[in-house]
Amino acid sequence: MRVSVFSPSHHPRYLDACFDSLAAQSFEDWEWLVLLNGKASAWSPPRPDPRVRVERATERGKGVGAIKRDACSRLSGDLFVELDHDDLLLPDALEEIVQAFDANPGASLVFSDFGQINEDGSPNDARFDVHNGWVYTDANVDGTTYLRCHALAATPHNVGYIWYAPNHVRAFRRTSFDAAGGYDPARTILDDQDLMSRLYLQGEFVHVPKLLYLQRMHRRNTQMDPKINAEIQETTVELYVEWIERLALAWAGRQGLECIALTTPTSLEIPDVDPRFRTVEINPDAPVIDVADNAVGVIKAVDVLQRLPDRAAFLNDCHRALTHAGLLLTDTPSTDGRGAFQDPSHVAFYNENSFMYLTQARLRPTIPALKARFQVSHVLTYYPSPVHEEIDVPYVKGNLLAIKDGPRQGGPLLC
């Protein structure tokens, strides 16, 4: 199994260090493509190596998605590994990647734990907020101690947000990459989140619980630019909304879990329900889902919450049915418009703030019967269509994560 490493580069200042990290790999059947783009000056490796190619991007001025797509079109290996032009691979990285793919034939992507280094290559001790699920330990590599960040599990919620998505190293099969359609050439940011979402539909993501990648932190990192960072934050949420249901369905299918679409006797017909959902009608006065404990990966509840007088009973049973990290996806007319009150069948009322009472421990006394432990995955007020906007019927989308015993989910655990 041959490994193709690719590094688009608009400035070769750190490429010598990249080369040294590749030359030190215990696995030797690799190629490295350095694709110079923009105004990048010429570069050649500090010593000859037939496995290294330095080429120019064919189209100047294109975004990062187009450049990475160009790079991948020139690779010959079975596995693709992205190495940012200012980062480093640890010596056993490629060997661990190959072993992980060999051991997991259904894997589309392999990812690892990671660390950070300063501009001069020294260990960087900055941390993400540990209250959002991040765990750190020390890792000694050839006499140097790095702060190892343990990547979060590849659940739909964690993959759905690039904030929590499996971090470097990221390696994917050529066949999965091709089936997913490769990098989107129109993307100028978040090309990785977009590609990972499509790869997640192709196969499982496998975690190598070792420090394999060092990310260099310096003032030229993309996320250091306030304007670009603001766009990244906003677009991250947009991509989450676009993909989360499909991510959850793919994950549930691989885990052998059911996918349930709920309805009530007075619910309107839900349009375009994915056929992987099994439709289940529940009794509003006794909202019990006829399914075994921990057997469900995703529950879809459109125009349901407002018809259930006992929200605690409903949420408790959803939590019983869902597995750890399973998702309850709800869409409900919001009290911020007319829709919540205009329908006589509505007996319960919601807006964005309502979900605080369902997840935050300090507010739990307001619903004494609520025993379910849920974490907010996403809350948004929106108009489902132009007609809804015209008649002032906004909906609140509330996605909740079932929290049981299992891997930590990104974001503040409020229960």
pLDDT in tens, 82-118: 999 999 999 999 999 999 999 999 999 999 999 999 9
Percentage of the residues of the chain whose pLDDT score is greater than 90: 89
- Check residues 271 and 193 and name the one with the higher pLDDT: 193
CATH, domain 3-243, list 3.30.450.40, 3.30.70.20, 3.90.550.10, 3.40.50.300 = 3.90.550.10
pLDDT at 281 over 50: yes
Q: Cα dihedral angle (253, 257, 258, 261), rounded to 10 degrees?
A: -80
Q: What is the DSSP string of 147-189?
A: EEEEPPP--HHHHHSTTTS--S-EEEEHHHHHHHT-S-TT-SS
pLDDT at 76 over 50: yes
pLDDT at 5 over 80: yes
Cβ atoms of 314 and 308 within 8 Å: the answer is yes
Token pair of 199, please?
């790869």
Q: What is the mean pLDDT of residues 27-38?
A: 96
Across all residues in the chain, what is the average pLDDT? 95
Q: Which of 179, 213, 187, 178 is nearest to 81 (CA)?
A: 213
- Check residues 177 and 58 and name the one with the higher pLDDT: 177
Fold classification of 257-402 is Rossmann fold (3.40.50)
Residue 221: predicted pLDDT: 63
Residue 228: predicted pLDDT: 84
pLDDT, tens digit (0-9, with 9 covering 90-100), for 214-230: 999 987 666 567 788 89
Domain boundaries, the chain: 3-243, 257-402
Percentage of the residues of the chain whose pLDDT score is greater than 70: 97
Q: Do 3-243 and 257-402 show the same overall fold?
A: no
Contacts of 319 (CB under 8 A, 6+ apart): 371, 372, 373, 374, 402
